[in-house]
Amino acid sequence: MRIFWVIAVFVALVGLLAVGLRLNPREVPSPLVGKPAPHFELPLLAAPEKTFSQKDMLGAVWILNVWASWCPPCLLEHPVVTALADSGIAPVIGLNYKDARENALPWLRRNGDPYKLSVYDVEGRIGIDYGVYGVPETYVIDRKGVIRYKHIGPLTPDIAQKKLQPLLKELSGRG
């Protein structure tokens, strides 16, 4: 009887740790999912005299990808972002975060520019409004301008295929 209890507690503990230790503490659930995308009106990275706002994308399903030339994981996910943009499933807007034009523009020239356009958030203020804390981050925003999904850290082909594409298809299909 007593051995039964010892084993039961042991198994319960192993179960708890097996689940708990596998959770990623870096993945903090964003309170922004399901809420309207925070407002911004920022100069374009490539053309400082022009501005772009999230409002300009109302009526379209789109991807907001936060990147910077100083961020190695951004380079890592770049092929995935490029493939996603090339697939034509949704436009990808870049939010160039706390970067400098003289570094960001050559970075795009070197690695290719999959973005429809990139906005330039040099102080990272819009980043704060979007709850950015681990560049790169990726948001899916629907036709009504509501954030439907957020991914923190580099996108992998697996996430693009299993999470982003089905969601984008679903959102685009819905009239």
Partner 1 sequence: MARILALLLFFAGGAVAAEDPSLERRVTDLANELRCLVCQNQTIADSNAPLAVDLRNQIREQLASGRSEREIKDYMVARYGDFVLYRPPLKASTVALWAGPFLLLLLGIWIFYRRVARRRPPEPQLSEGERERAAKLLE
Residues lying near partner 1 in the complex (CB under 8 A) are found at 25-26, 28-32, 98, 100, 123-124, 128-131, 133-134
| Nearer CB in complex with partner 1: 38/112 | 38
* CA-wise closest residue to 126 among 54, 47, 61, 57: 54
**Shortest Cβ 32–partner 1 spacing (Å):** 7
**Shortest Cβ 27–partner 1 spacing (Å):** 10
**Shortest Cβ 56–partner 1 spacing (Å):** 22
| Nearer CB in complex with partner 1: 77/121 | 121
Long-range CB contact pairs, 103-109, < 8 A, 24+: 103/69, 103/70, 104/45, 104/68, 104/69, 105/45, 105/46, 106/69, 107/69, 108/45
Q: CA Rg, the chain, in Å?
A: 20
| Nearer CB in complex with partner 1: 26/174 | 26
